[in-house]
Structures are given as structure tokens and as C-alpha cells.
Copies of this chain bind each other. A is one copy, B any other.
Amino acid sequence: MTTIRDVARVAGVSPATVSRVVNGLIGYSAETQRRVEDAIAQLGYEPDTLARGLRTKQTAVIGVLAPVVSDALASEIMSGVEAAARVRGYSVMLGRTGPGSTFAPGYLRTLRTYRAAGVILISAAITPEMRRALGSGIPLVSVAIRDGQRFPSLAIDDEVAAYDGTRHLIALGHRRIGLLAGDPDSVLVNTARKRGYLRAMSEAALAPVIAHGNSLYDSAPPALADLLARDAGLTAVFALSDEMGPAVVNELQRRGRRVPDDVSVLGFDNTRTSQHVHPALSTIAQPLERMGELAVERLLTDGLPSTGPVPRILPHRLIERGSTAPIRPARPNPPRNKEQS
């Protein structure tokens, strides 16, 4: 392994000068710089991260923790994190918060001993224990969740987003709109989203119909059954995740109902999965990749611990695809098979 001393020897200067050149500091002649750079190129020198981190008490590492690594939503945020980190010369360390966030403190302790530049927490609430495990010198920002006022966070306004989604269905003429909510205990945003739905329904003097899943695909069919048991005449279902949304579309079709002709379905998140169903799912989009990028930016620019607890709200957006349509009057006969286009 070639060290800064090797470079110094070849360039005929001292290690200190090499360090200055490498770090772009001032205090050397153009000629010296050239010689050092030549030596670096010749030897293929690369500064040792560990030694540097030990000395400077900082490494270019950003930790990312998500409840489940293979989750589509978390993956897309991570993708943004990776991109933003890479262009800035940072590396990403991946962890899983695990059930009840039990893994998180361990990961945060590790991140502390790595002297990480910051930590991004996806879809998980920051507990005091977690904050303690990380120590006080490392900034922490949570993404896709609004964690009260205690810690910095980056998210959409889930309540308004759900309100807007519900309003959209109402504007399409729907009156009997079911909500397929997620588990409020495991995914905090579900409370806010449910509130948005209730507010929109209440303002329109409509009766809410609610069932709960756990945000994942498999939880949706039984929850939908629950929903239909309460009101078999539902003409729209608002599913609060883009795993449940496609599941609702598929399950409705399995039950012989057409989407959107008989029932409109609206999803939430705009993950890739929303496009993996036919008809493609209309949904409320969160700027997931962008959230990941912004989280990095935020950690790195105003990364000091005194940044303050102001949550940052990002814009959501309604995306209309094929799964929502204006309500239709009861039809006489199912017009089947048409020419393909």
C-alpha cells in the first residue's frame, strides 16, 4: 500500500506538503504541486480513509436506516441518497431498523464509532435511545415521516396529501369512498393520512368507511373484504400505500369488479409498484428520490447539530393513471372485448 510518505519521497518533498496538495490547501508553489501530482499519479496513491478519519474525527460516511431493506419505498429513497452521496464523495452505510426499531441503536453506535458525517432515518420515528446511541456530534434527519418537532425531518404533508386524494375522488363524483389505512402503530404517517381522509369526507358530508391493513400487499385483500362488508356499494377505494393499491386493484378484479369502471382505486407513495398493475394505479406521489437527495444535502450543508428541529415539508402530487375515473351510473351490460389499440 502506498502512503503519503512514498509520494513525498518520489516527489522530493515532505509528507506535510503532499497533504497540503491533496487537500487543496494553500502554501506551495505551482512547481511543487506539479511534482506531487505526478508522484500521486505515478504511484496510484489514495489517501487512507481510516488514518484521515482518525485524525480529523470525521469520515465521509452517511448512514441510512430503513425498517426493511427490500421495501420499495425505502429503496427509492436510498437510491436518491446514494446518488447525492456519490457526487459529493460520500459513502453510504446501510442498516435496518428492524422490528420495533430494535436494531437501530446498535447501528447508530457503530455509525458513531465510524465518525459518520450524518445519519438518515427512513420511515421510522427517532427515539431518545436512538439519539443517545448516536451521540451528540452527528446530525440525524428522518425522511418520509414527520417526527413531531423534536428532530429534523423531511416529508410531505401527509394529512393534506390524503385530503387532496379524497377530494379528488369526490370531485370525480364518488360518494361512497372506502379508506384502506395502514397500521398506525408501525407507520406513523398513517394517522395523519387518515385524518386527511376524514376531514375531506366530513366536509363533503359523506360517511367514512375504514379498514386497516399493514401497508403491505398481502394485508390488502382481507382488509378490502372488510371494507366491502361494511359497504358493498363502494365506488372508490383509497389505499394508503402503493403495495395495498395494486392489491386492491387485483382483488377487485378477482371479485369480478372492473377498475375503474365499477370501482376507482387511488394509491399512495408512487413507488414503482404502482405501475406494475393493470390498469396502472393513480396515486399520490411523494418525491422519494428527491427526498433522499435533500436529506443528504441537509446533513452536509447545515449538518451541525444545532440545525434546529424545523420539519421540512415537500410537495406531494396527484398522478392520474388508469385506476381512477368519474363515477358511472349502473350499467346495463358489460361491454366485453373490444378491438385492441
- CB-based contact A78/B50 at 8 Å: no
Q: Does A278 count as interface, using CB distance less than 8 angstroms? A: yes
A94 CB contact (under 8 Å) in B1, B94, B218: B94
Q: A113 to nearest B CB, angstroms?
A: 4
Q: Number of contacting residues on A, CB 8 A?
A: 63
A46 — which chain B residues lie within 8 A by C-beta?
A: 109, 112-113
- Of the 9-residue stretches A22-30, A51-59, A165-173, which lies at the interface with chain B? A51-59
Q: Does A49 count as interface, using CB distance less than 8 angstroms? A: yes
A152 — which chain B residues lie within 8 A by C-beta?
A: none
Alpha-carbon distance between A96 and B179 when the two chains are bound, in angstroms:
38
A118 — which chain B residues lie within 8 A by C-beta?
A: none
A113 — which chain B residues lie within 8 A by C-beta?
A: 46-50
Interface residue ranges of A306-341 to B (CB < 8 Å):
335-338, 340
Q: A91 to nearest B CB, angstroms?
A: 6
Interface residue ranges of A79-119 to B (CB < 8 Å):
79, 82-83, 86, 91-96, 103, 106-107, 109-110, 112-115
- CB-based contact B278/A50 at 8 Å: no
A272 — which chain B residues lie within 8 A by C-beta?
A: 70, 72, 217
Q: Does A187 count as interface, using CB distance less than 8 angstroms? A: no
Q: Does A247 count as interface, using CB distance less than 8 angstroms? A: yes
Q: Does A186 count as interface, using CB distance less than 8 angstroms? A: no
- CB-based contact A72/B69 at 8 Å: no
- CB-based contact A64/B94 at 8 Å: yes
Alpha-carbon distance between A340 and B92 when the two chains are bound, in angstroms:
48
Q: Does A243 count as interface, using CB distance less than 8 angstroms? A: yes
Interface residue ranges of A104-154 to B (CB < 8 Å):
106-107, 109-110, 112-115, 135
Alpha-carbon distance between A333 and B4 when the two chains are bound, in angstroms:
80
- Of the 9-residue stretches A5-13, A34-42, A206-214, A253-261, which lies at the interface with chain B? A253-261
Q: Does A191 count as interface, using CB distance less than 8 angstroms? A: no
- CB-based contact B82/A243 at 8 Å: no
- CB-based contact B91/A92 at 8 Å: no
9 A-B residue pairings within 8 Å (CB atoms): A50-B54, A51-B54, A69-B79, A70-B78, A92-B93, A218-B275, A249-B278, A253-B278, A254-B278
**10 closest A-B pairs by CB:** A250-B278, A335-B337, A70-B75, A70-B79, A49-B113, A69-B79, A50-B54, A94-B94, A92-B94, A50-B53
A50-B115, A86-B103, A273-B273 are known contacts; what are 20 more A-B pairs with Cβ within 8 Å? A1-B135, A46-B109, A49-B114, A50-B54, A69-B79, A70-B72, A70-B272, A72-B75, A72-B272, A82-B95, A83-B96, A86-B95, A86-B106, A91-B95, A93-B94, A276-B276, A276-B277, A277-B277, A277-B278, A335-B336
